[in-house]
Amino acid sequence: MWLKESGSAWRKSEEAIDCRQYQVVSVTPHTTAEAQVLQEAVQQLQLQQWTEPHGLGVPVDVMVPPSLVEVFLSGLQAKHIPVQVKITDVQAIIDEQAAKRPVSKSLPRTFDHNKYNSLEEIASILEGVEEEFPSLVTISSAGTTFEGREILVAQVSSDGGETRPVIWIDCGIHAREWISPAVCQYILDELTSGYDTKSEITELLDTYDFHIIPVVNPDGYEYSWTTDRLWRKNRVPNEGVLECHGVDVNRNFEVAFGEPGASDEPCSELYQGPEAFSEDESKAVRDGIEALGSRVTVFYSLHAYSQDWMTPYGYTDALPDDYDEMIRVVEAGVEALEDVFGTSYTYGSVANTMQLNQDRSHSLLGLQESATPPSKGSYPGGEQTLDFESHFVPRSHPAAHIGLEDVTSGASYDWAYEIANIPYVNTIQLRDEGTWGFLLPEEEILPTAEETFAVDSSEQIVKGGICHCSELVRPSVSAESQEVSIGGYV
C-alpha cells in the first residue's frame, strides 16, 4: 500500500537539506489497528516523526516530502484515519525565520531573548556573563564532542559552589529543539541579573547552586543551523553505515539501555548507539552529575515540543517509589506555569503521559487522592530533610512493561532517578502543541521562558514553573554525604 518512491530517503544526503513543500501532517489514530497503519506508513515511507505516538486519540505529527503527500494522505483517508495538515511548506517557514533573524556584526556579550542564538553566540554570551558576574558564575567544559566542540556548563553559586544542594538543568540534548537552549539562557540571565536585585532570586541562590548546560549537543545544534534545521541526534559517524550519522543522546544512558523505546538501527532518529555511554554528550551529563554526588537535588532536562512535564519512568509504566512526592512538586510547578499565560501542560510519568496525554486524571496517573497538600513555605521548605543515606546507591530496576509501545529506554531522566538517585527528576517538553512544532517563532521565546522560569519583579516571586523550589523538601547535605563514593555504578 505504501509505495516508496526513489529519493524519498531524504535524510541520507550530506547536502544541505531542503524541505521545500514538505508538509507536517497531524494524524490521530483511534484504534490499535489505525495506530499500526500509521506506524507502517511512517516506516515504509521513511517519514520523519515530529512527535512520538502518545496513545490512541492523540495526534502524531509526521513530516511528509511532497512526492509522498498524496500516497500518505490517501492511504490514511482510505482507512478513515483523521488527518490534518498543520504546515504546508516547512522550508518556507525555515527560510522566513532565517531571513528575519538579525545578522550581528560582532558576537554578543549579553543575552538576547528575542532571537535564537547560534552556538558561537551562546559561547560568547557565556564568556560575557562570566566576566560580568565573576563571583557568581563559572563557565567550564563538561566534555568535548566528536567534532571537537566544548560542552559548556555554567555553574551559578553565591558561595563558591562547594557545599550547597544543586539544581541541575540541561538543555539542547536534541539539536532541533531550539527553544530549549533559549530557555536555559533565560534562566541563566534571570539568576545572574536577579541576584542582589530580586529578593526571591537572592534567596534562591543563597540556598541552591545551579549547574546549567545550555547546549548538551553542540555538534547537532550547529548542524541544525548550518545544514538540517530538523536534525535531532549528535553527529558521530556510525561505523559501517557511512550515510547515516548520529546517535540519539537521550537513548544512550545506562538505564534500560537497548530495551523497547530506542532503536539499534544507526539510521533511526532514535538510534541508541553501540553501547550505553558511548557518546561524549551523555558522558558529559553523567560525569557532571557524578562529580556533584549527593548534592544534586533537582534534575531538569528541557525539550520541545508538546507541553508535557514529566517524571520517571520512561521505560516502564510502573511508577517510581518517590512518584507522589515528585508529582506533588510538579503540580505546583505546572500550576505556577499555567498561571503566567494560561498555557496548558500535561503531566505525569513519561510512559504514562505518553500513553494518556490528554487525560490528567490523578487516578489514571497513579496518584493517591489522599496525597498531602503542598506546603507553601518559603525555602528552605519545611522541617523535613530527605534521606541521603541511600543517595547514589542505584535504586531497584522495575522490569520494562512487555508490550507497551510508548516507552523510552536509555533516557537521561531515568538514569538521573534510578542510578544517580536524584530525588526530584523532571523532563519538560516546552511549547508548543504542534502549530509550529520545532519551528517555534522567536516571538514565543520570551513568553515560553517567562512561564517556565520568571520572577515577577513587582511581587518578588518566582512565578514560573521552574524553580518552584519553595515546594522542595530541602535536603541536608552533610560533609559526610558529599564524600559518598560514586565509583561503583559506571
Contact at 8 Å (CB) between 174 and 250?
Answer: yes
Binding residue for Zn ion (CB under 5 A) from 174, 211, 229, 286? 174
Q: Which C-beta is closer to Zn ion: that of 37 or that of 247?
A: 247
Quote the least distance from Cβ 228 to Zn ion, whole Å: 16
Contact at 8 Å (CB) between 22 and 45?
Answer: no
**Residue keyed to cell 541520507:** 12
Only segment of 83-91, 98-106, 140-148, 302-310 that touches Zn ion (CB under 5 A)? 302-310
Q: Is 431 in the site for Zn ion (CB under 5 A)?
A: no
Report the candidate in 396, 322, 303, 315 with the shortest Cα–Cα distance to residue 352. Answer: 315
Quote the least distance from Cβ 470 to Zn ion, whole Å: 28
Quote the least distance from Cβ 250 to Zn ion, whole Å: 6
* Alpha-carbon span 31 to 460, nearest angstrom: 49
> Reduced to 3 states, what is the DSSP secondary structure of residue 387?
coil
DSSP class of residue 263 equals: B
Angle (CA) 452-277-322 rounded to 5° is 50
Only segment of 71-79, 169-177, 276-284, 325-333 that touches Zn ion (CB under 5 A)? 169-177
Q: Which C-beta is closer to Zn ion: that of 192 or that of 412?
A: 412
Q: Nine-digit cell at 198?
A: 530580586
Binding residue for Zn ion (CB under 5 A) from 235, 303, 431, 468? 303
Quote the least distance from Cβ 433 to Zn ion, whole Å: 15
Q: Is 108 left (phi over 0), alpha (psi -120 to 50) or beta?
A: beta
Only segment of 6-14, 176-184, 202-210, 272-280 that touches Zn ion (CB under 5 A)? 176-184
Contacts for 311 with CB less than 8 Å, ≥ 6 apart: 320, 323, 326, 327, 330, 347, 348, 349, 350, 413, 417, 425, 426, 427
Q: Which C-beta is closer to Zn ion: that of 71 or that of 439?
A: 439
**Residue 60 β-bridge partners:** 27
Q: Which C-beta is closer to Zn ion: that of 174 or that of 468?
A: 174
Only segment of 233-241, 261-269, 301-309, 398-406 that touches Zn ion (CB under 5 A)? 301-309
Quote the least distance from Cβ 306 to Zn ion, whole Å: 10
Q: Which C-beta is closer to Zn ion: that of 177 or that of 325?
A: 177
Only segment of 18-26, 170-178, 241-249, 345-353 that touches Zn ion (CB under 5 A)? 170-178
* Alpha-carbon span 164 to 376, nearest angstrom: 22
Q: Nine-digit cell at 13?
A: 544526503
Quote the least distance from Cβ 347 to Zn ion, whole Å: 17
Greatest C-alpha distance within the chain? 66
Report the site for Zn ion in 177-236 (rule: CB under 5 A).
Answer: 177
Q: Tell me the site size for Zn ion, rule CB under 5 A.
A: 3
Only segment of 171-179, 289-297, 311-319, 337-345 that touches Zn ion (CB under 5 A)? 171-179
For the chain, the residue count is: 490
How crowded is the C-beta side of 315, counted as CA atoms within 13 Å? 25
Binding interface with Zn ion (CB under 5 A): 174, 177, 303
